[in-house]
Amino acid sequence: MKHNGVCALNDDMADVLESFKRADVLVLATPVYFYGICAQMKTFIDRTYPIWQHLGEKEVYYIISAGLGEDIIKRSLGDLNGFVEHLEKQEIKGRIYASNVMDAGEVTETSFMNAAYEMGRAV
Ligand SMILES: Cc1cc2nc3c(=O)[nH]c(=O)nc-3n(C[C@H](O)[C@H](O)[C@H](O)COP(=O)(O)O)c2cc1C
């Protein structure tokens, strides 16, 4: 943040930040791990810190999966909402809460797949 939006860590995140800045649409997709978002998503959010005062305007979509019910997913929303609230202008245009999908592949048998397809088509 103190280096004109250039991260002090010199790695691939520089390219990710450039893509992020150009994007009109942001799809935040994460499983729930121990009542929160996954570590990779949290790391992505944290690493936008160099530009957090200029995150831009985005249309936002959430896709969140969990082994248990929708209440668990809602409990995990704090980190995503906290990040999205820092966008200069934002609208959450769609949410898919894929609850009760514990095992690998289980989600393919649910209506969440079609919901994701339709959400993508509407972007
Ligand atoms: C480390 C770990 C922690 C998890 N913690 C939760 C949890 O707190 N609540 C929940 O409902 N499901 C939990 N689950 C289940 C996952 O949310 C669920 O299986 C999800 O569909 C996994 O998505 P993935 O295949 O993209 O990892 C956990 C799974 C793992 C591997």
Domain count, the chain: 1
Ramachandran assignment for 57, one of left (phi > 0), alpha (psi -120 to 50 degrees), beta (any other): beta
Task: Please give the pLDDT value at position 2.
Answer: 85
Enclosing domain of residue 41: 22-121
For ligand 1, pick from 70, 102, 108 the residue to mutate: most ligand atoms within 8 Å of CB: 102
Task: Please give the pLDDT value at position 100.
Answer: 98
- Pick from 60, 65, 51: nearest CA to 81: 60
Q: What is the mean pLDDT of residues 81-100?
A: 97
Measured in whole angstroms, the distance separating CA 65 from the mean position of its chain's CA atoms is 12
User: Is residue 12 a part of any domain in this protein?
Assistant: no
Pairing mode, if any, of strands 36-37 and 25-33?
antiparallel
pLDDT digits (tens, 9 = 90+) for 22-65: 999 999 999 999 999 999 999 999 999 999 999 999 999 999 99
The residues lining ligand 1, judged by C-beta closer than 6 Å to any ligand atom, are 31-35, 65-68, 72, 101-102
Instruction: Please tell me the distance between residue 67's alpha carbon and the centre of ligand 1 in angstroms.
Output: 5
User: Is residue 84 a part of any domain in this protein?
Assistant: yes
